Structure 1
Amino acid sequence: MINNIFLTLYKDYTEQIDAGTLEPGSKLPSENELAETYQTSRETVRKGLNMLAQNGYINKVKGKGSFVLDKGRMKFPISGLVSYKELAARLDKPNRTLVYITERIPAGNDIAKELRVRSDQPVWKIVRAREIEGERVILDIDYLLAEVVADISKDIAADSIYQYLEQELHLKISYAEKVICVERATEIDHQYMDLRGDTHVVVVRGYVHLEDTTLFQYTESRHRLDKFQFVDFARRITMSDI
């Protein structure tokens, strides 16, 4: 349990920062104060603070302390694998998922090429709109290999597919490759999104792999132009840090 105290510290402060309890620019207690609060060593505290820094929650200034960074809202991370359910919990805005299609179909030529499988190989096709503050501003189109995910229901699709895959099927989702571009809106975009006259959408294509490197999911997340920013957090690493 002691070894996990740094995770408790990390979780406590991410929750406070995401909730806005700790505002951007706020200074965290010193390492000594945190060590006393969590009844642990400064080394353990430092490990938790480093996790916060690496994930863009704080900036550690030598000799001055740790300060909260502006995480912002309605921002989608470019790097990292975060489910919509996890992200929606941070938005603090009324939202819901509308499931339009959940069907098992042959991959077909186009999807087979994306998933690197035969065109007759069965996949699950799931089409969902993400409604935020009464407007459908995201359209997610997912294809999952049926040999990896044997069954999936509309209720699961409406809740969290990743939660189902990880907690019920015990799959270990490891990493994803992402491609981001702006494209002309398609017929399906106009059908399932509230575009308000927009002619283009931002498309994030994701290729998701399991721990054993199996490519099991191809997804297109299509976003209305005016609603989201796509962000990453990069920390410069110099030779002296290696």
Structure 2
Amino acid sequence: MKPKFITISEEIIEKIKDGELLPGDKVPSENELINDYKISNTTARKCLLEIESKGYARRIKGKGTFVLNRTVEHQLVRTLGSINSTRRGFNEGIKAEGFTPKNIIIEKTVLNEGISSEIVGKHYIIDGPVLKIRQLRYADDILMKDETRYVSLKLCPRIDRLSTEISYFKTYEEEYNLKISDIKQTLGVDILEASSAQNNFEVDKQIPVFILDSVVLCDAEKVVEIERSFYRGDKYKFAIVASPEYDVSPTFNLKK
């Protein structure tokens, strides 16, 4: 008969293999295992150590134990419709999947006139002043994401003084006490030529990209953030959460 911690760890590993737990997702904590399986602290700890020792998860001190990325060619998984994934932010998500993040800022400026964008067939506007940040996001020295973010300085004064490595979503909630009411997202695809001015992916040939447009709304439909990002198409997979914590509306446009 197998030890209890082996049986439980195998059950959790099966959830990882089946995609029920995705790369970057948090594995049940010791306390959750104790409550769910009615086991001791020692058995719960052994379960997590067993999952980690088999290469399916990694413990991050003070954060928890997270599912590692074991996909073919280490493709990153971006989860649409997941508030937890959005709240975690790029850097924390990359670390949770087992990679080392790096960020290079190529533009950081204040737009006094504001910004607008059409997302899910509707125009969204942020009145100035607006912080514009464009940065290149790396995982293990491979450029994965070309991100441009616009943030309301009226709703988030002096956020331009904070590090760009923060989780912006978490900062809106915790530092500015904004209650996020909705996130709208559209996902498109395109091919960038090597010579294109939009192509920062350090390749000498055309490359497929996902284009994600999103808007973050708080109370009274106020626009906190607008984002337009290019994700390297050969390095990313996208997953969908059907029952998000908030009413998040991912929309797909697969036209080139």
Q: Which residue of 1 aligns with 2:105?
A: 99
Take 2:11 and 2:198, find their aligned partners in 1: how far apart are those partners? Answer: 37
2:146 partner SS: strand
Q: Which residue of 2 aligns with 1:80?
A: 82
Count of residues in Structure 1 that have an aligned counterpart in Structure 2: 183
Take 2:141 and 2:99, find their aligned partners in 1: how far apart are those partners? Answer: 10
Q: Which residue of 2 aligns with 1:65?
A: none
RMSD: 3.8
Say yes or no: does 1:135 pair with 2:160. no
Does the Cα contact within 8 Å between 2:183 and 2:217 map onto a contact in 1? Answer: yes
Take 1:151 and 1:33, find their aligned partners in 2: how far apart are those partners? Answer: 43
Identity of matched residues, % = 14
Q: Which residue of 2 aligns with 1:194?
A: 202
Q: Which has the higher contact order (CA 8 A, sep 6+)?
A: 2
1:177 partner SS: strand
Say yes or no: does 1:180 pair with 2:187. yes
Report matched runs for 1:65-76 at 5 Å: 74-76=76-78
1:163-184 Cα offsets, whole Å, 9 max, x none, are 3322222222232110000134
Does the Cα contact within 8 Å between 1:98 and 1:158 map onto a contact in 2? Answer: no
Say yes or no: does 1:213 pair with 2:221. yes
Residues 130 and 109 of structure 1: is their aligned pair in 2 closer, same or farther, counting only changes over 3 Å?
closer
Residues 141 and 25 of structure 1: is their aligned pair in 2 closer, same or farther, counting only changes over 3 Å?
closer
Shift of 1:210: 1.1
Residues 217 and 233 of structure 1: is their aligned pair in 2 closer, same or farther, counting only changes over 3 Å?
closer
More helix by percentage: 1
Shift of 1:32: 10
2:163 partner SS: helix
Does the Cα contact within 8 Å between 1:137 and 1:194 map onto a contact in 2? Answer: no
Give the TM-score, by structure 1 length: 0.61
1:189 partner SS: coil
Does the Cα contact within 8 Å between 1:78 and 1:230 map onto a contact in 2? Answer: yes
1:75 partner SS: strand
Q: Which residue of 2 aligns with 1:115?
A: 124
Does the Cα contact within 8 Å between 1:115 and 1:216 map onto a contact in 2? Answer: no
2:38 partner SS: helix
Residues 75 and 117 of structure 1: is their aligned pair in 2 closer, same or farther, counting only changes over 3 Å?
closer
More strand by percentage: 2
Q: Which residue of 1 aligns with 2:14?
A: 24
- 1:89 maps to which of 77, 91, 95: 95
Q: Which segments of 5 or more consecutive residues in structure 1 lack a partner in the other structure? A: 1-15, 40-68, 236-242
Take 1:170 and 1:163, find their aligned partners in 2: how far apart are those partners? Answer: 10
1:115 partner SS: strand
1:129-156 Cα offsets, whole Å, 9 max, x none, are 1101211120110111221122223652
